[in-house]
Structure 1
Amino acid sequence: MLGFSQFHANTDPSTESKQPLSTISVKENTQNTSSVDLENKRYTINELNNQVINVKNEQVVNAAPKKKSAMLNVVLIRQNPELKYGCEVTSLAMVLNYAGVKTSKMDLYRSVRKDLDPLIKSPKGDIIRWGNPADGFVGDMTGRRAGYAVFDQPMIALINQKLPGRAINLTNQPFDRVLEHVSAGYPVVVWTTGDYRLPDRPEGWYHGNQYIKTPLDLHAVVLVGYDPKYVYLNDPLSGKKQVRVGKQQFISSWRALKSRAVSYK
């Protein structure tokens, strides 16, 4: 959360010797521009506004990672064989276990919200209608039937079930903000693709009157570390821990998947 300094005239008599009201005045001219006399210096209102903007910009810059590199020792959990399409809940199981929560991928599989709208295909095999991953997991996570994914909001609800009031949604935040969270000691579930590159399997279907356009080659992993050139991921599908991926390559895939990221505080 960003904050900024506000200018207030102090009218408390006990502090008047430090900030005499006589040193502060606001003047307006006929061109509707104002100025403030502060400590025998005159500032226009625009100049004061610019100072506020500069403070806010400095705080955005200061939101960059506090450390040049970080690595969290998050225990790896594999999604297979039980959850063929369960990369999101398996990734979250890793994160919650790191937070000290006693849970498992199967517990989260049973608990996560689900969108039960059935898959309807055309005679050619094209998807016509299906669920909305923003509402809950779409399809069958076990792989006995077709399954797809779940997005950030149901995952946030699931984190709050296990850690009440502690869920953090970093979706649509700058990637530096995500890295800052890792720097502070919190692993993050992030959405990418199976090979951490740009998605190349576009698809779309209707959910009620809503048209959902999303790539099929979607994947979720745990961001556990970074350095100046790379990010490090626990991948529940490949079963590899601290996989090293080029930072810029990963950021491109992450942004293509709508910059989704969730964690806890």
Structure 2
Amino acid sequence: MKKLYLMVSILPLFGCNNTDDTVSQQTKKQSYTEIYEQVPSTSIRKTENPDIVLKEVNNQPAKKDSMMLEVVLIKQNPELRYGCEVTSLAMVLNHAGVNIDKMELYRSIQKDPDPIKRAANGDILNWGNPADGFVGDMTGRQAGYAVFDKPMEALVNQKLPGRAINLTNQPFERVLEHVSAGYPVVVWTTGDYRLPDRWESWNHGQQVIKTPLDLHAVVLVGYDANYVYLNDPLSGKKQVRVGKNQFIESWKALQSRAISYK
């Protein structure tokens, strides 16, 4: 969870400190061609029942009603006070069979080198852009903040060449389909998996960066009809159950960011 304390004499704390898609049964009078023409999809799959067709999107099987992936839990602390993103990615890459730890990812992730500059009252005037690289010091020895999806995508492609999947700005149903297919996903939310309530803005060159300070990144490892399940690198808890609608609201507020592999 990213926290901010506006005390000039103390280092600020910004870091991470939350239906099967089927076509209804057709009448037996219809031909297979007629049935296929009614499926709004680029590909289709027949079931054992010739009167039912399951839609496949992008060659991906229809989403299961529920899924739970067994993904190793890795904690970000004490080494990476603000390292929820790379720690979450370490869990995902280990699930992919890559023997890697969070510290290697910490060293490898793109950084935005712009230093923090403050006003006399402690307000942030200038800092980096998390869309370009990690902003600040991930270890917590100095102020640290976050990194967004593009540098994470690049890091996945370093470790799994050509296999990164950026699901940012996709519908959440598409993210769940990816989990259903067996892939955990790094998703951005807040520390309590609710809507962000602490916003900050600063200048970065000619840009104004406006972003919540209570953002967090976790691993989506499962779901069912009413809940999602998360491995949280900050709390150190595995398969944390969170209301699906509540989580989706927080995820959308963080610009619907999601990174995985294929």
| 3-state DSSP of counterpart to 1:223 | strand
Question: 1:135 is matched by which residue type in structure 2?
Answer: D
Aligned counterpart in structure 2 of residue 120 of structure 1, from 107, 112, 117: 117
Contact 2:76 2:234 in 1 (8 A): yes
Moved over 4 A (4+): 51-54, 56-59, 61-65
Distance change in 2, residues 1:69/1:128 (3 Å): same
Distance change in 2, residues 1:54/1:74 (3 Å): closer
| 3-state DSSP of counterpart to 1:204 | strand
Question: 1:78 is matched by which residue type in structure 2?
Answer: K
Partner of 1:144: 141
**In structure 1, how many angstroms separate the alpha carbons of the residues matched to 2:206 and 2:67?**
45
Matched, 1:55 2:52: no
Partner of 1:256: 253
Contact 1:167 1:264 in 2 (8 A): yes
Partner of 2:107: 110
Q: CA deviation digits over 1:167-223, x for unaligned, max 9?
A: 000000000000000000000000000000000001100100100110000100000
| 3-state DSSP of counterpart to 1:205 | strand
**In structure 2, how many angstroms separate the alpha carbons of the residues matched to 1:65 and 1:129?**
46
| 3-state DSSP of counterpart to 2:125 | strand
Computing the radius of gyration from Cα coordinates, the structure with the larger value is 1
Aligned counterpart in structure 2 of residue 181 of structure 1, from 158, 178, 181: 178
**In structure 1, how many angstroms separate the alpha carbons of the residues matched to 2:99 and 2:111?**
22
Aligned counterpart in structure 2 of residue 194 of structure 1, from 186, 191, 194: 191
Matched, 1:129 2:114: no
Gaps of 5+ in 2: 1-35, 45-54
Matched, 1:91 2:91: no
**In structure 1, how many angstroms separate the alpha carbons of the residues matched to 2:212 and 2:155?**
24
**In structure 2, how many angstroms separate the alpha carbons of the residues matched to 1:62 and 1:163?**
25
Contact 1:65 1:179 in 2 (8 A): no
Partner of 1:78: 75
**In structure 2, how many angstroms separate the alpha carbons of the residues matched to 1:256 and 1:103?**
31
Higher relative contact order (CA 8 A, sep 6+): 2
Contact 1:65 1:176 in 2 (8 A): no
| 3-state DSSP of counterpart to 1:55 | coil
**In structure 2, how many angstroms separate the alpha carbons of the residues matched to 1:65 and 1:143?**
43
Distance change in 2, residues 1:261/1:53 (3 Å): farther
Contact 2:176 2:223 in 1 (8 A): yes
| 3-state DSSP of counterpart to 2:76 | coil
Q: Cα distance, 1:56 vs. partner?
A: 5.3
**In structure 2, how many angstroms separate the alpha carbons of the residues matched to 1:257 and 1:65?**
27
Question: 1:129 is matched by which residue type in structure 2?
Answer: N
Contact 1:188 1:263 in 2 (8 A): yes
Matched, 1:231 2:242: no
RMSD: 1.9
Question: 1:109 is matched by which residue type in structure 2?
Answer: Y
Question: 1:55 is matched by which residue type in structure 2?
Answer: P
Question: 1:153 is matched by which residue type in structure 2?
Answer: K
Contact 2:188 2:251 in 1 (8 A): yes
Q: Cα distance, 1:66 vs. partner?
A: 1.5
Contact 2:41 2:56 in 1 (8 A): no
Matched, 1:158 2:155: yes
Distance change in 2, residues 1:229/1:57 (3 Å): farther
| 3-state DSSP of counterpart to 1:92 | helix
More helix by share: 1
Aligned residues: 214
Aligned counterpart in structure 1 of residue 166 of structure 2, from 162, 165, 169: 169
Aligned counterpart in structure 2 of residue 204 of structure 1, from 179, 201, 205: 201
Contact 2:68 2:222 in 1 (8 A): yes
Per mean C-alpha deviation after superposition, the further-off stretch among 104-113 and 62-71 is 62-71
Identity %: 76
Q: Cα distance, 1:55 vs. partner?
A: 2.9
Q: Cα distance, 1:53 vs. partner?
A: 10
TM-score when normalising by structure 1? 0.77
Q: CA deviation digits over 1:114-148, x for unaligned, max 9?
A: 00100001101111100000000000000000100
